[in-house]
């Protein structure tokens, strides 16, 4: 199986952002914190986002003024600090994906 290309990785991230949006639609912090399945589904999508960003051509990412290290670090945080994650933080991260999504759409428009 061939490794995904940068354009495929961008699409994977956009798909993950879309799924997170679907998963948390109609939810609030209180309901999110009580729903272990929802938490797990959302965290998995954040792992995809962070991992995919690590594999996008850095020359492309450097053209766009976005803190790319944040989603990468968030992935590492979820993986390595799974035992101490505050679900409220995960919930608030679900509400903060619009800028990332906009930058990725610009990358698709301009680079591929």
- Residues 74, 50: Cα–Cα separation, whole Å: 7
Boundaries of domain holding 33 = 6-106
Q: How many domains are contained in the chain? A: 1
Q: Would 112 be classed as within a structural domain?
A: no
Q: What is the pLDDT of residue 84?
A: 86
Q: Would 12 be classed as within a structural domain?
A: yes
Return the percent helix, strand and coil in the chain, to nearest 5.
Answer: 75, 0, 25
Given a contact cutoff of 8 angstroms between Cβ atoms, the answer to whether 89 and 46 are in contact is no
Given a contact cutoff of 8 angstroms between Cβ atoms, the answer to whether 23 and 48 are in contact is no
Q: Would 100 be classed as within a structural domain?
A: yes
- Residues 100, 67: Cα–Cα separation, whole Å: 9
Q: Would 111 be classed as within a structural domain?
A: no
For residue 9, give Cα distances in angstroms to 21, 31, 33, 43, 107: 18, 31, 29, 18, 11
Q: Would 11 be classed as within a structural domain?
A: yes
Q: What is the pLDDT of residue 83?
A: 85
> What is the overall mean pLDDT for the chain?
95
Reference 71, options 23, 14, 30; nearest CA is 14
Q: What is the pLDDT of residue 112?
A: 83
1-25 per-position pLDDT tens digit:
789 999 999 999 999 999 999 999 9
Total-model pTM: 0.93
Extract the runs of DSSP E, i.e. beta strands, from 1-112: none
Q: Would 1 be classed as within a structural domain?
A: no
42-90 per-position pLDDT tens digit:
999 999 999 999 999 999 999 999 999 999 999 999 999 888 899 999 9
């Amino acid at each position: 199986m061939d490794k995904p290309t940068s354009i495929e990785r961008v699409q994977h991230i956009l798909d993950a952002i879309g799924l997170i949006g679907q998963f948390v639609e109609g939810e609030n912090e209180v309901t999110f914190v009580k729903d272990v399945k929802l938490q797990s589904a959302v965290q998995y999508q954040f792992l995809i986002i962070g991992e995919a960003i690590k594999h996008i051509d850095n020359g492309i990412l450097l053209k766009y003024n976005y803190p790319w290290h944040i989603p990468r670090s968030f992935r590492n945080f979820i993986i390595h600090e799974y035992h101490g994650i505050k679900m409220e933080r995960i919930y608030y991260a679900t509400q903060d994906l619009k800028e990332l999504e906009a930058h990725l759409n610009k990358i698709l428009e301009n680079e591929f």
